């Protein structure tokens, strides 16, 4: 399975859709992934599934041939975050993330902890959660426009050697213009053309996300709750590939 060695390629032949397994048990997660295909998608294990089922479920997903993004958004003192990142690397995950708000020292410690061999996990920063707005940022003392804070944190992530950031498609457009293509943009909030938005406030189509410069698209419910998850994945892939094709022309 391609891992850190693939990051300098913009090769859409490798799986670009990351399925968010926001599910309440290992059984549900394994039932679902047995209906998907590890050559067509990667998986994201977040807080809900990890708190329910722990590293064991991650190992079982990797054993089934999937690349796993461990989305636990570490944010603590540098030593503790470094330990957590080392544990994630030992677990064999493909991608892991930390909060860029943890600061330079914490990000550098995380970067050292994931190591430097070609099999190391990609290390991704979370800038500002898209659930924040200007008012809620002001309440925690960040009085600038959210986009200014996102830019600054993305720059810090890049300077400290992280491989990329999680961002909305709206943010991706500006970040892609600013950073080289090897700085990865991981974009959630994706919905097929005309699909329901669920509780996401702003959604974009796979085509719009790719056009904005996204490298990986995070998709949860449109696939996990579909009657035929592989069919739903194929439909999203199709939209993504057509956009890629248009951009390449």
Query: Closest CB to ligand C5P belongs to which residue?
Result: 220
Contacts of 220 (CB under 8 A, 6+ apart): 19, 20, 21, 22, 44, 188
Q: Is 124 in the site for ligand C5P (CB under 6 A)?
A: no
Site residues (CB under 6 A) for ligand C5P, limited to 188-217: 188-189, 198, 200
- Counting contacts by CB under 6 A, is residue 229 touching ligand C5P? no
Residue 164 sits in the site that holds ligand C5P (CB under 6 A)? no
Of 20, 36, 68, 185, the one binding ligand C5P (CB under 6 A) is 20
Q: Which residue has the tokens 């807080």?
A: 47
Q: Return the sign of the alpha-carbon dihedral for residues 218, 219, 221, 227.
A: negative
Is 104 marked active-site? no
Among 32, 68, 82, 219, contact with ligand C5P (rule: CB under 6 A): 219
Confirm or reject binding of residue 125 to ligand C5P (CB under 6 A).
Answer: no
User: 185 near 215, Cβ under 8 Å?
Assistant: yes
Q: Is 143 helix (H, G, I), strand (E, B) or coil?
A: coil
Which residues partner with 164 through β-bridges?
A: 124, 184
Q: Does 170 bind ligand C5P (CB under 6 A)?
A: no
Tell which phi-psi region holds residue 161, choosing left (phi > 0), alpha (psi between -120 and 50) or beta: left
The answer to whether 149 and 128 are in contact (CB under 8 A) is yes
Q: Structure tokens of 60?
A: 């079982």
Site string for ligand C5P, 135-154 (x = CB under 6 A): --------------------
Which one of 7-15, 172-180, 206-214, 218-226 is the stretch in contact with ligand C5P (CB under 6 A)? 218-226
> Is residue 220 close enough to count as binding ligand C5P by CB under 6 A?
yes
58 touching ligand C5P, by CB under 6 A = no
For Cα atoms 223, 8, 104, give the angle at the middle one, nearest 5 degrees: 90
- Chain contacts with ligand C5P (rule: CB under 6 A): 20, 22, 46, 129-130, 166, 188-189, 198, 200, 218-221
Q: Which residues are catalytic?
A: 73
């Amino acid at each position: 399975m391609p891992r850190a060695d693939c990051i300098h390629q913009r090769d859409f032949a490798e799986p670009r859709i990351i399925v968010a397994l926001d599910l309440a048990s290992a059984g549900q997660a394994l039932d679902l992934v047995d209906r998907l295909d590890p050559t067509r998608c990667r998986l994201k294990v977040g807080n809900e599934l990890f708190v329910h089922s722990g590293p064991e479920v991650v190992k079982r997903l990797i054993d089934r041939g999937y690349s796993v993004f461990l989305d636990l958004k570490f944010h603590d003192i540098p030593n503790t975050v470094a330990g957590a990142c080392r544990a994630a690397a030992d677990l064999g995950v493909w991608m892991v993330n930390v909060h860029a708000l943890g600061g330079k020292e914490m990000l550098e410690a995380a970067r050292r902890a994931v190591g430097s061999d070609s099999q190391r996990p990609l290390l991704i920063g979370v800038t500002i959660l898209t659930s924040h707005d200007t008012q809620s940022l002001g309440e925690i003392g960040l009085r600038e426009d959210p986009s200014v804070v996102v830019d600054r944190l993305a720059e810090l992530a890049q300077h400290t050697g992280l491989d990329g950031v999680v961002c909305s498609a709206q943010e991706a457009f500006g970040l892609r213009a600013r950073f080289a293509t090897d700085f990865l943009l991981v974009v959630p909030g994706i919905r097929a053309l005309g699909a329901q938005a669920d509780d996401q406030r702003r959604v974009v189509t796979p085509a719009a996300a790719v056009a904005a410069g996204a490298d990986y698209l995070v998709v949860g419910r449109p696939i996990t709750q579909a009657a035929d998850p592989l069919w739903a994945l194929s439909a999203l892939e199709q939209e993504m590939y057509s956009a890629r094709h248009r951009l390449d022309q």
